[in-house]
Structure 1
Amino acid sequence: MTLDAQGTDATDRAGLNGQAPRCDHIDQLPQVQYGPAECKECLTLDRPWTRLLVCLICGWVACSDDSQGGHARAHYEETDHPVVATLESRSTWRWCYVHRRTV
């Protein structure tokens, strides 16, 4: 057993050899219904978006950082909801804003 600085078992949180530790935020994700496939803020401002992300805590859909608005990050900064996924079909990509990496 490997203990972390707090004396708890760190083995369960470890990734594969050479990978970053497991993100505990993905263990806390509820089942959510996604909002419409649009960025409401960009629609209001009449701006296009590059890619849409969905908040995996509440289902809010907003544009990604590579869009002009970056409204998904703004949602994280306002709510502290840490994990988003892309709305692209068949993608398993998820991003944790807290750890600043894919999970």
Structure 2
Amino acid sequence: MANCSHVRLVRRVRPKTIGCEECLAEGLEWFHLRLCRICGHVGCCDQSIGRHATAHFHETGHQIIEGYDPPEGWGWCYVDEAFVDLPDQTPQIGPIPRYY
């Protein structure tokens, strides 16, 4: 995995929701979840209809996400388009509903 200068911005976060925040609000289904390691936003992956994790990056500029469902422990930097090593893994806050 590559490292990038944005990894220094990673924070220990608490997920804001137990599923994709926007999909839950809109009644949509998701495939996998991604956790913003800057603010704790939970969004769906690019294989999902909403692509809310990427949309969150474009709206906020928050660069680093964690593969969150299932907990995968990898990080991704949207700016450098590269996998990154995270300093820790975020525990899930409860059972995540499955929609695929």
Contact 1:55 1:83 in 2 (8 A): yes
Partner amino acid for 1:26? V
Task: Pick one of 18, 22, 32 that aligns with 2:13.
Answer: 32
Mapping of 1:1-103 within 5 angstroms?
A: 22-103=3-84
Q: Relative contact order (alpha carbons < 8 A, sep ≥ 6): 1 or 2 greater?
A: 2
TM-score, normalization by structure 1: 0.73
Q: Which consecutive residues of structure 1, in runs of 5 or more, have no partner in the other structure? A: 1-18
TM-fit CA distance, 1:89? 4.7
Contact 1:53 1:62 in 2 (8 A): yes
Structure 1 CA distance, aligned partners of 2:55 and 2:19? 15
Structure 2 CA distance, aligned partners of 1:24 and 1:60? 21
Q: Which consecutive residues of structure 2, in runs of 5 or more, have no partner in the other structure? A: 85-100
SS at match of 1:33: coil
- Aligned partner of 2:98 in structure 1 is none
How many residue pairs align between the two structures? 84
Identity %: 38
TM-score, normalization by structure 2: 0.75
Q: Deviation per CA, 1:44-71, whole angstroms, max 9, x where unpaired?
A: 3221100011000000001011111000
Q: Structure 1 44/33 Cα, relative in aligned 2: closer, same or farther at 3 Å?
A: closer
